[in-house]
Each structure stands twice: as C-alpha cells, then as structure tokens.
Amino acid sequence: MKNFLVINNKIKSFNKNITVSGDKSLSIRAVLLASQAIGKSRISNLLESEDVLNSLKVIKKLGSNFKKKNNLYEIDGYGLDSFYLRKKLRIYTGNSGTLARLILGLLANVNQEVKIYGDKSLSKRDFSRISNPLKVFGVNIKLSNNSLPATIIGTKYLRPINYFENLGSAQCKSAVMLAALKTNGVTKIKAKKSRNHTELLFQNLNIPIKLKKTKKFDFIEISGPSNFSSFNYNIPGDISSSAFFIVLTLLSKNSSILIKNININPSRTGIIKILNKMNANITFKNKKVYKGEAVADIFVKSKSNIKSIKCPEYMNSSAIDEFLIIFLVAAKAKGVSTFKNLGELNKKESPRLDIGINFLKKIGIKVLRKKNDIQIYGNPKLKLKDKYIMKDFLKDHRVFMMSSVAALTLGGKWKIYDQESIKTSFPNFIKTIKKLGAKIN
C-alpha cells in the first residue's frame, strides 16, 4: 500500500448498497471475553483490523488459542483464572486504547509482572484513568508519565470497589467491569453515559450483573467471580465506519446508499440523531435485535440544504468517535453550529479537537473556540480548488478517512498521507469508496 492517497476529483453520483466490516468495540470485547469463557467460542464477521488482530495475538500470548475456519474464528477459553504467563511477559497493544485498557482489567488477578506497551499514539494517551480504579482493587500498576508503557502485577486477593466513572468513557467502565468479574464480592459502578456493549454481553453470558439507568447515569453492580460458558457471536457492522459513507452520501449530489446490517445501539447512534437534526433524512430499515444489540440497514440520501446545529452536550458520548466527520457537515451547513465540552476528543488516537479545528481553518471555514467549546461558521457554497496536504496527524485512521471524504465532496487537489492508518479500524475503506466510483490514486 502506497503511503499517501491522491484525490483530484469529486465523486460522481452513486446509488449503491454496501457493507462495512464488523464493529470494532464488539470485536475486541468478543475476543477478550472468549478468552475468559469455558469452552470454544465461535465468532463470525469479526473485524480483521490491526486493533482486533492485536487482541487475538494478546490472548494467544496469555495462553488462549484461536483458529480461523472459513469466516469463523474459534477461540478456546479456559475460565477466569486461566491466563498462563511466562515470566516478565511483554504485551503489545498497537494503536488500540480499547485493547490496552480492557486487557489491564483482565490482568487484575494475574499475580505476575506484565508490561503493556503500544505505538507512538497510544503512548501519549492517558492511562491514569485506568490505573486509579485498578489500584483500589488492590492491583500494583505503574505507568510512564501517566501513559504506556505500564507494568502491572495483579493479585489473587482483589477487593470489590465502588467506582464513579465521570468521563463518560466506556473503556474505563469496561476495564472496571472486567476486573469486577474476577473479584470476590460486589463491585458497584456509577457511570456517566457511554456505549453499553460490555453490559449487554455480560447479560447475554449470564454473568451476574444488575443495571439501573437514570437520565444522567448508569448504575451497575457485578457479583464476582463468575465463570461463564463459551458463546457464539455474529458481529454486526460498525456504525463508526459507516459514518464516513453516511456523510459522503449526504454531501454528494443526487446519491443514495444503503449500508447493511449495522449495529445501531442507541449509545452509538449520536451521528444519526445529530445529522437528522441538521436536516438529513437518515432512516433505519429491517430493524432487529441480536443478543440485546439493535441492528438495522442505514439508508441515506444526498441533501443540499443542511442546517447548523446547537449540539446538546448529552449527545457527545453517543457520537464520540464521529465528531471529525460531523464537523465536516457543519462546515457545509447554513448557519453557525455549536458544540460544547469536547475535551475528551483530544484524548483520542490524535488530539482530534485541535486537528479538527485546524482542518476546518485550512479549508477556509471560520471556527471560534473557547476552551473545549467551538462554533463552526458553515458555508453551504463551500467549494475547494486549491492544493491540500494532510500529514502529521499521528496516523489517526479517522483523520485520514474524514480528509478523504472532504476531498471527494468538496473538490480541490489532495494528497493525504498515512494511508496505512485505515488498517486500524477499516482496512476495506479504500476498496469501498472505489466501489462507489471514486477516482483515487
């Protein structure tokens, strides 16, 4: 794969059905939970991206075997106490915050030293948000400048904790839930709203979990330790990967797309709600529920009269990975869009709030910022003719894909570096835009 993508032409109208690959959050969770189950789990439509392949490598290093048979991954698990370790094991988690944070939760009961390290981007991200609750469980964990590499020595004598998750981070909530699974007693969590895949999987696997929801918080109680049996899971498509095609269609002329079999868990559909508030008309077809997860086909048509939005803060968590692409829609909207309290965006694979603002300015859009609140002055007539180079974004896959959508819908001559970044979450991204007729080199 060449290191950069050249886009010199807007995409022509298209009317197509597509699929996108399996959901990343569910794929990583399915792999990690299969390693803890008793028996052989079978997972289909697993996302084969670097984050998930690294998850498979990690569980293999810890003693759980897997095999691929046709499109099915078979993973052998031997229970909650089964991780087998060589002395001083080193575990590589690549670019994946989800893998690194969740595996720390699973290592809570492993009484040997393990070093966790990641790539350049992951080694800049905050891990004190995970080490703090794990220390309360009784785990010995040391970080480097609050980040990776981390050295963890778990304990067989974990104590249940009361934990307040106040960032709206599903990774933090899930890491604590996984440690709770291994802890004798009841762990109580009060969590700001965030994606609830781990809760739904626990319920589905009959792990003792109590859930109570209020408007602002979720209350979770887990009684551990609780071994569980192996399972079958068919991973639905990823709404975060779909987001790029939703916006590509919305901002193109006379086009439509049907994206099939996508996870539309309400804790993930912020992008749809936000875009519909901006006058898009995105609909769900063939809705069903699979193991507690809502799944549907997403239908989108182009729209010329996009309106600005005052995005309510409560929507931030359900669109947390989609703001870059939402900013692009705000750039083409009539009026000034406002977004508030987006500090968590700067804690992602790259500082996405800073990068998003710089990107908008680069394409001639006025943006005002006050701390983590921003105002985007939309321009429905926005058309680009100049040359644009995108590089130095810490190989953030979502920056790469958003820039490609900008190039294909706004015009201009683009050179977008770090093409290999798509391997993190969506290796078929380029193939899929080509299928829609995009001319790219």
Catalytic residues: 321
Q: Residue 126 and residue 283: Cα distance in Å, rounded?
A: 37
- Shortest reach from residue 320's CB to ligand S3P, in Å: 5
Instruction: Kindly report whether the peptide bond that precedes residue 133 is cis, defined as omega within 30 degrees of 0.
Output: no
User: Is 49 or 252 the residue whose CB approaches ligand S3P more closely?
Assistant: 49
Strand ranges for 277-382 from DSSP E: 283-290, 293-301, 336-339, 366-370, 373-377
Q: Which residues lie across from 299 on neighbouring strands?
A: 258, 283
Give the Cα separation of 63 and 78 in Å (integer).
Answer: 9
331 phi/psi in degrees, rounded to 5:
-65, -30
* The one segment of 135-143, 167-175, 215-223, 376-384 that binds ligand S3P by CB under 6 A: 167-175
Of 268 and 332, nearer to ligand S3P (C-beta) is: 268
With binding defined as CB under 6 A, does residue 242 bind ligand S3P?
A: no
Q: Provide the β-strand partners of residue 386.
A: none
Helix axes 24-34, 97-106, angle to 10 degrees: 20
Rounded Cα–Cα distance for residues 319 and 110 (Å): 35
- DSSP string over 234-272: EPPBPHHHHHHHHHHHHHSSS-EEEEEEEE--TTTTHHH
The DSSP code sequence of 379-426 is -TT--EEEEEEE--STT-HHHHHHHHHHHHHHEEEEEEE-GGGGGGT-
Q: Select the residue interacting with ligand S3P from 10, 182, 195, 268 (CB under 6 A).
A: 195
Q: Between 133 and 378, name the residue whose CB sits nearer to ligand S3P.
A: 133
Nearest distance from C-beta of residue 85 to ligand S3P, angstroms: 25
Is it true that the peptide bond before 312 is cis, omega within 30 degrees of 0? no
Count residues contacting ligand S3P (CB under 6 A)?
Answer: 12
Q: Toward ligand S3P, which CB reaches closer, 196 or 404?
A: 196
57: enclosing H helix or E strand: helix 50-61
User: Using the rule CB under 6 A, which residue among 161, 170, 272, 333 binds ligand S3P?
Assistant: 170
Residues 383, 411: contact at Cβ < 8 Å? yes
Stretch of residues binding ligand S3P (CB under 6 A), selected from 166-174, 203-211, 278-286, 360-368 = 166-174
Nearer to ligand S3P, 181 or 438 (CB): 181
- Residues numbered 248 to 307 that lie near ligand S3P (CB under 6 A) are none
**Residue 97 CB, nearest approach to ligand S3P (Å):** 6
What binding mask, one character per residue, do residues 79-118 give for ligand S3P by CB under 6 A, x or -? ------------------xx--------------------
Instruction: Give residue number: closest CB to ligand S3P.
Output: 25
> What residues pair up with 115 in beta bridges, in sequence order?
90, 151
Could you tell me the smallest distance in angstroms from the CB atom of residue 5 to ligand S3P?
A: 22
Site for ligand S3P in 305-324 (CB under 6 A): 320-321
Which class for 115: exposed (0-12), middle (13-18), buried (19 or more C-beta within 10 A)?
middle
Q: Which listed range, 30-38, 62-70, 168-176, 360-368, lies at the site for ligand S3P (CB under 6 A)?
A: 168-176
Query: Is the CB of 25 or the CB of 234 nearer to ligand S3P?
Result: 25
Q: Nearest approach, Cβ of 245 to ligand S3P (angstroms)?
A: 18
Which one of the spans 146-154, 165-173, 327-335, 410-418 is the region binding ligand S3P (CB under 6 A)? 165-173
Q: Smallest distance, Å, CB 172 to ligand S3P?
A: 6
At closest approach, how far in Å is the CB of 102 from ligand S3P? 8
CA distance 431 to 56: 25
Burial class (CB within 10 angstroms; exposed 0-12, middle 13-18, buried 19+) of 344: middle
CB of 90 to ligand S3P, least distance (A): 23
Binding window for ligand S3P (CB under 6 A); candidates: 13-21, 164-172, 358-366, 404-412? 164-172
Binding residue for ligand S3P, selected from 171, 350, 409, 424, defined by CB under 6 A = 171
Tell me the residue type at 276.
N
Of 7, 18, 25, 222, the one binding ligand S3P (CB under 6 A) is: 25
What is the distance between the alpha carbons of residues 114 and 105, in angstroms, rounded to a whole number?
Answer: 12
CB-based contacts of 258, cutoff 8 Å, min separation 6: 16, 17, 18, 285, 297, 298, 299
Residues 328-357, one symbol each (x = binds ligand S3P by CB under 6 A, - = not), give ----------------x-------------
Subset of residues 116 to 145 that bind ligand S3P, contact rule: CB under 6 A: none
| Contacts to ligand S3P by CB under 6 A | 25, 97-98, 169-171, 174, 194-195, 320-321, 344
